[in-house]
Amino acid sequence: MDILAIFFLVTGLIFFTGGAIGIIRMPDFYSRLHPAGKLDTLGIFAMVLGLIFYSLHHFSMDTLISILKMLLIVFFVFLSSPTATHSIVDAGMRAGLRHWTKKKRR
C-alpha cells in the first residue's frame, strides 16, 4: 500500500511540476492554458489516488467516507477545470487573440 501511495503521489508531483513549468515557459496564451488544464485533471487524480491508498491502512466506515469525499473532489475538478479552460480559450478566440506561430516572435 505504501509503495502504491508513494508511487501515485510522486506521479502527481511530476505532473504538477511539469504543469507549473509549462505555465511559465509556454510561449502564448493558448499553449499556457494547455498545461493548466492538464495538471488540474491528471495531477489531481494521481495525487488523490495516492492519498486514497495511504488512507486504506485502516479500513473502516470512516475511511470509506473520506475516500468517497476525495473521489467527489476529483469528480468536481474533472467537471469544472476543463470547462473553465474551454471557456477561457473561447473568450480568447472571440476577443480575436491570434495564436502563436514560430515565425512571429512574441
Partner 1 sequence: MLQQYSEQAGGQKIEIHSSNHSFALWRLLLYATADFPAWGDPNSPANSYLSPHYIQKSIEETGVPNLVTSVLADYRGFDTMFETAVVFCAGLACFLLLRNFKQKEENFYRHIPTGVIIQFKKGDKTLPVGKEFEHIDTEWIPYDLIIKTVCRILIPFIQLYALYVVAHGDFSPGGGFQGGVIFGSSLMLYAIAYNLRTLVQRVKEKLLGLFCAIGVLIYAGIGVVCMALGGNFLDYGKLSQILPVDPGHIRAYGMLGVEIGVGITVMAAMVIIYVNIVSIGRHDEGL
Q: Dig out the grid coordinates for 38 from the structure.
A: 492538464
CB of 95 to partner 1, least distance (A): 11
97 near partner 1, rule: CB under 8 A: no
Q: In the complex with partner 1, which residue's Cβ is closer, 5 or 33?
A: 33
94 near partner 1, rule: CB under 8 A: yes
Burial of 39 (0-12, 13-18, 19+ CB in 10 A): buried
87 near partner 1, rule: CB under 8 A: yes
Whether 100 and 31 have beta carbons less than 8 Å apart is answered as yes
**Residue of the chain from 10, 64, 79, 97 that contacts partner 1 (CB under 8 A):** 79
Q: Dig out the grid coordinates for 48 from the structure.
A: 488523490
What whole-number distance in Å separates Cα of residue 73 and Cα of residue 48?
A: 9
Q: In the complex with partner 1, which residue's Cβ is closer, 83 or 101?
A: 83
86 near partner 1, rule: CB under 8 A: yes
Sign (positive/negative) of CA torsion 7, 10, 14, 20? positive
Q: In the complex with partner 1, which residue's Cβ is closer, 26 or 74?
A: 74
Q: What is the DSSP letter of 105?
A: -
Binding site for partner 1 (CB under 8 A): 76, 79-80, 83, 86-87, 90, 94
